[in-house]
Amino acid sequence: MTRTEAGGPVPPAPAPLLELRGIAKRYGGVRALEGVDFTCRPGSIHAILGENGAGKSTLIKIMAGVVQPDEGEIRLEGERVRFAGPAAASRAGIVAIFQELSLVPDLSVADNIALADPPRRFGLIDRRAQRQRARAVLARLGCEDIDPGMRIKDLPLSRRQMVEIAKALALKPRLLILDEATSALTAADVERVFRLLRELRREGLALLYISHRMHEIAALADTCSVFRNGRHVATFPQGSRSGREIVRLMIGRDITQVYPPKPERPQPVPPCLEVEGLGWEGRLNDLTFRVGRGEIVGLGGLDGQGQRELMLALFGVLRGLSGTIRLEGRELALTGPAQAKSPACGMALVPEDRKTEGLLLPMTVRDNLSLAALPRLSRAGVVDRDRENEAVAAMIRRLRIKLGDPADPVATLSGGNQQKVVLGKWLMTGPRLILLSDPTRGIDVGTKQEIYALMRELADQGAAILFYSTDYDELIGCCDRVLILYDGRIVRVLEGAAITEQNIVASALNLGEVAA
């Protein structure tokens, strides 16, 4: 039985397809889920809302048999079931599209779409049939432009996500789950997907939709459920609650003054970074902008519009750049991060994916924190243990990193604290230009506030900050200016009062002035 709160009875609905009762899941000390009851019914789109780390993905991984619950039971049409793995779940008609893409890069689109059980003749895979199947599903998604013969690794991110959806469709699901599956889609694709989902709803599928984008949920969902640190707090018909109420349910309190105040500063600020006509491989096109000292400049737009490439380009990772980059007046031609971080340049990059690009998970917190600053913590190539320990301890105190011992593997830290370690690693080098790539991803609201405060503090101390975020709320709250990227171009620059949700969304989807 799903709990419902006073206010609007749940409309009479068909028998539940999938029921979860008293589900609990722990990861080591972490309570990912606790006593969760949850129901989803055929013919409806059910949205799940919640802060990062609220347990949404875990819930879904349990439904899809990716992880096993520690407690509780799952009933499929009343029958008690237990899914050994994703295969078992999809046989039962439960198919999930996960946050982390589940496509095999070296195989073709057709191969991937038919990966789990391809059409066979005499036990061998029937490539023609497979190709036809792929065409059919892609056509249904309105993606005739994707060649089934292409390898996944040769497709752009947005195309891959469409293939991911196609792959799920091909399994003929009865319950289809999308976990932030639209985060990287272009406006047109999002529309296509929505049309498709509504169609599927008509056909009587049960749909679970997870997104951090309120407007998408408003546009799509029939029912909403809110999760907060591992608990199911409410389920209600979409539209029966205001955005503010929902946020309160999600966070457990009103967000009061999440963001530090933006200081008024004399214009123009002294320039730190000046970029002119920057281009790369058609993924970055003629970018021109400047970031002043003490300024926080936001990078907006949908995921995968070149923000990541821009960061890497500035940090000297990309080859074959066109245009000019000037740092503190001097023109730069960087050979790589080693040079970028050198005191001469004083740059720092907090990369997008902390687990693969930011951290050395099995190594200790100490080793991770001091990695970038080692040269200045050593004499003649020999690490000065005492200075290292002091510096590390100081950074741990400054960022209030919660840990047992600096000698623990960083993997044992929480997502938020892991992210703090990445930040700390770079603060140790005393950077003057800080590139932040979605630094608050997968981080709880408390930590977020600390990070916002930290950013402003650094800016006030004279650092220039380039700040990419997928969460436009952050951009609004933190940035003095916001550059909206679309297809590797700056489509709009928002300043001061103009930095609003409508403007950001509109220009991100590249819809001109139309509000989302």
Partner 1 sequence: MTRTPKLAADDRPILIASLFVLVILALGSGYTLLTQGSLAFLTPTYLLQQLQVAAFLGIVAAGMMLVILLGHIDLSVPWTLAAGAMMATAVGGPLALPVGVGVGLFVGLLNGLGVAYLRVPSMIFTLGMNAVLRGLMVMHTGGFAPQTHATELMAWLATGRLLGLPMALLVWMLLSALMVLLLQRTVFGRYVYAIGNREAASYLSGVPTRAVLVGAFVLCGGCAALAGVLLAGYSTKAYQGMGDPYLLPSIAAVVIGGTHILGGRGRYAGTVVGTVLITLLSSVLSVMQMAEAGRQVIYGLVIIVMLLAYGRTQKLQA
Partner 2 sequence: MRALGNALGRHLGLTLAVLLFLLFYGVYNLFHPKGFTTAVLIQNTNESFALVMAAMAQTVPVLAGGLDLSVGAVMTMVNCLASYLLAGSPAAMLGGVLVCLAAGALAGFLNGCVVVYGRLQPIVATLATGAVYLGVALWLRPTPGGAVDQDLAWALTNDLSELADTYGWLDGETAWFQAIAWLPVPLLLMILVVLLVWLPFRETVTGRTVYAVGSSEPAAFMSGLAIDRARLAAFTLAGFLAGIGGLYLAIQTSSGNADVPQAGAYTLNSIAAVVIGGTSLLGGSGGAAGSLVGALVIRAISFNFRIFDVPPLVQPLFEGIVLLAAVSLGAGRVFRVKNRLQLMT
CA distance 306 to 283: 6
404 contacts partner 1 (rule: CB under 8 A): yes
Q: Pick between residue 4 and residue 378 the one whose CB is nearest to partner 1.
A: 378
Residue 59's alpha-carbon distances to 31, 68, 96, 132, 276, in angstroms, are 12, 10, 11, 34, 46
Residue 453 binds which entry of ligand ATP, partner 2, Mg ion, none, CB below 5-8 Å type-dependent: none
Out of 44, 57, 108, 235, name the contact with ligand ATP by CB under 6 A: 57
Binding mask 154-173 for partner 1 (x = CB under 8 A): --------------------
**Do the Cβ atoms of 414 and 361 come closer than 8 Å?**
no
Using CA atoms, how far apart are residues 143 and 44, in angstroms rounded to an integer? 25
**Binding status of residue 98 toward partner 1 by CB under 8 A:** no
Q: Which amino acid is at 271?
A: P
Please, where are the H alpha helices in 65-213? 86-91, 109-113, 127-140, 157-170, 187-202
Which spans of this chain sit near partner 2 (rule: CB under 8 A)? Answer: 66, 85-90, 98, 100-107, 111, 115-118, 120, 123-125, 127, 147, 149-151, 154, 167, 280-281, 312, 317-320, 336, 357
Report if residue 437 touches Mg ion, rule: CB under 5 A: no
Alpha-carbon span 490 to 342, nearest angstrom? 29
Sign of CA dihedral 55, 56, 62, 63: positive
Smaller CB distance to ligand ATP: residue 99 or 324? 99
Beta strand 284-292 with 271-280 is antiparallel
Rounded to whole angstroms, the Cα distance separating 113 from 189 reads: 18
When CB distances are held under 5 to 8 angstroms depending on the partner's kind, the choice from Mg ion, partner 2, partner 1, none that residue 281 binds is partner 2
Find which of partner 1, partner 2, Mg ion, none residue 57 binds, CB within 5 to 8 Å per kind.
Mg ion
Nearer to ligand ATP among residue 351 and residue 488 (C-beta)? 351
Q: Does 142 bind partner 1 (CB under 8 A)?
A: no
Radius of gyration (C-alpha) of the chain in whole angstroms: 24
Determine, following the binding rule CB under 6 A, whether residue 339 of this chain makes contact with ligand ATP. Answer: no
- Convert residues 6-45 into a mask of x (bound to Mg ion by CB under 5 A) and - (unbound): ----------------------------------------
Residue 333 lies near partner 1 (rule: CB under 8 A): no
Cβ-contact 236, 244 below 8 angstroms: no
Looking at the Cβ atoms of 315 and 472, the one nearer to partner 1 is: 315
What DSSP string describes 380-418? TTEE-HHHHHHHHHHHHHHHT---S-TTSBGGGS-HHHH
Query: Using the rule CB under 6 A, is 54 a contact of ligand ATP?
Result: yes
**Considering CB distances under 5 to 8 angstroms, the limit depending on partner class, which of partner 1, Mg ion, partner 2, none binds residue 302?**
none
Task: Tell me 108's DSSP state.
Answer: B
Site string for ligand ATP, 10-29 (x = CB under 6 A): -----------------xx-
Q: Rule CB under 8 A: which of 300-319 touch partner 1?
A: 315, 317
Residue 381, interface with partner 1 (CB under 8 A)?
A: yes
Q: Which of 364, 449, 450, 489 binds partner 1 (CB under 8 A)?
A: 364
Residue 359 touches partner 1, criterion: CB under 8 A: yes
- Residue 373 Ramachandran class (φ > 0 left, ψ -120 to 50 alpha, else beta): alpha
Closest approach, Cβ 15 to partner 2, in A, equals: 27
Q: How far is 475 from 460, CA to CA, in rounded Å?
A: 18
**CA 93 from centre of chain:** 27
Q: Which does 415 bind (CB under 5 to 8 A by kind): partner 2, Mg ion, ligand ATP, none?
A: ligand ATP
- CA separation for the pair 170, 151 (Å, rounded): 18
Does residue 203 touch partner 1 according to CB under 8 A? no
Contacts of 18 (CB under 8 A, 6+ apart): 39, 40, 63, 74, 75, 76, 94, 175, 206
Q: Given candidates 192, 232, 420, 425, which one binds partner 1 under the rule CB under 8 A?
A: 425
Binding-site ranges for Mg ion (CB under 5 A): 56-57, 99
Residues making contact with partner 1 (CB under 8 A): 315, 317, 336-338, 340-342, 349, 351, 356-364, 367, 370-372, 374-375, 378, 381-383, 385, 404-405, 407-409, 412, 425
